[in-house]
Structure 1
């Protein structure tokens, strides 16, 4: 997670508000799911979506989200899981689909194990969002012009390639933010390297469904 000022700006950027329905894709430890749950309140809903392609991980991501949904005050959270390309089948029409440091994984063998592609996933997001809904993507930036070549080796992706793919699904880029940018990141080392971990140059996009 980020410091409070960055968190507040990101949440405002993503248009997370009371009564919203949010899909939190690959929720990890559930920090974002909890935060969204607090904001949307009893009239809102949060789908904590664990792709089936990662459900076998030793930390039991599905079970962890199911336990989170049972926490006091989390009646608005639902833990769901399906193949990445089938996200729309286990969620309801949403105001916001949130991907935090996950989009690059759509271009890795693990995420593609079921045969789904990033294009399939983006079309699913488009179908699941309400008109005017926001598709918010935060990810580790790769060097300009590298496309998807660093998604597996460095866990980075060229922001321009992400924009091209998402717009091809029918979305319109509505806004971008430099709040998580780091000009000192040379984009040449893996995001888990201690020299850059937690401080990577990150792009923030908000696309909307017309």
Structure 2
């Protein structure tokens, strides 16, 4: 189990957490993304306003140059009237954008491990800016037997840098099936994760945090999804995928501490795949 996974203790229980009424490095020169034809429309100006929101921490804003939130969410086709489930939001980097964007006309649901530090962090975030998070909800789930909510209840499911954890602990297949079940027919699954070098197998890289793109696509299509688009928004050609402590060598983790920190800062955050899947409409 990798160091990131050790932060989460997954209990064998499924339940709901009551929502609390409202809660520089060098660029990696991302490629421009062209959303698939089925991506739909969204309010770019609304997204700009949320990304610039004063409730977002300066530390999180500093990572926008790596994480490309506007470009990625446009690629996935998010709209402010959607019900969106974010899987394992951790400290809430994307929650600071998603929940306020959906607060007026949609619904944000964060799916978290039972009793995790993530739950406390998100609840504190909701308290800090009640106007932006008044409708935000959390749901607890066991990733070994996941239940993310009623079948067909979500318009979109998003997971950022989590599939490598599920691959490491053997829960990846169950998670993709659960994400498929909770989505409405025609619903979208958006996946971002660290991308392994071409030709690498899962066994070769599973402990590094990187994953073969083909492996992630197969997980999704085996669960019933259709691949609807791939983007180079999060590509980083400076990342050669070969580091002493895997992806955690790079920012923001810096697993080696001060050792060669300038070198890894110059590389920036990891090279990542960005994939959009669709649950086929009912016939």
Structure 2, unaligned runs of 5 or more: 1-62, 251-263
- Of 118, 122, 130, the residue aligned with 1:72 is 130
Task: State the secondary structure of the residue aligned to 2:147.
Answer: helix
Instruction: Determine if the alignment matches structure 1 residue 201 to structure 2 residue 260.
Output: no
Q: What is the Cα deviation at residue 49 of structure 1? A: 1.1
Distance 1:193 1:5, change over 3 A: closer
Give the deviation of 1:128 after TM superposition: 0.3
Pairs within 5 Å for 1:43-54: 43-52=105-114
Contact 1:45 1:76 in 2 (8 A): yes
Residue-pair matches, total: 199
Preserved CA contact (<8 Å) 1:66 1:78? no
Tell me the residue number matched to 1:134. Answer: 188
Partner of 1:123: 177
* Number of the residue aligned with 2:203: 149
Distance 1:5 1:106 in 2: 21
TM-score, reference length from structure 1:
0.85
Q: 1:193 to 1:4 in 2, by over 3 A?
A: closer
Q: Secondary structure at the match of 1:162?
A: helix
Q: In the alignment, what sits opposite 2:239?
A: 185
Alpha-carbon distance between aligned partners in 2 of 1:130 and 1:151, rounded to the nearest angstrom? 33
More strand by share: 1
- Of 155-164 and 178-187, more deviation after overlay is shown by 178-187
SS at match of 1:23: strand
Number of the residue aligned with 2:83: 21
Q: Is the 8 A contact 1:150 1:157 kept in 2?
A: no
TM-aligned CA deviation for residue 43 of structure 1? 2.1
Change (3 A) 1:156 1:145: same
CA distance in 1, matches of 2:93, 2:101: 13
Distance 1:33 1:91 in 2: 23
- State the match for 1:176 in structure 2: 230
Name the SS of the counterpart of 1:132 in structure 2: strand
Please state how far the C-alpha of 1:37 moved relative to its aligned partner: 1.5
1:82 aligns with 2:136: no
- What is the CA–CA distance in structure 2 between the aligned matches of 1:183 and 1:5, rounded to whole Å? 15
Q: Which residue of 2 aligns with 1:10?
A: 72
TM-score using structure 2 length: 0.64
Q: Say which SS state the counterpart of residue 202 (structure 2) adopts.
A: coil
Secondary structure in 2 matching 1:88: coil
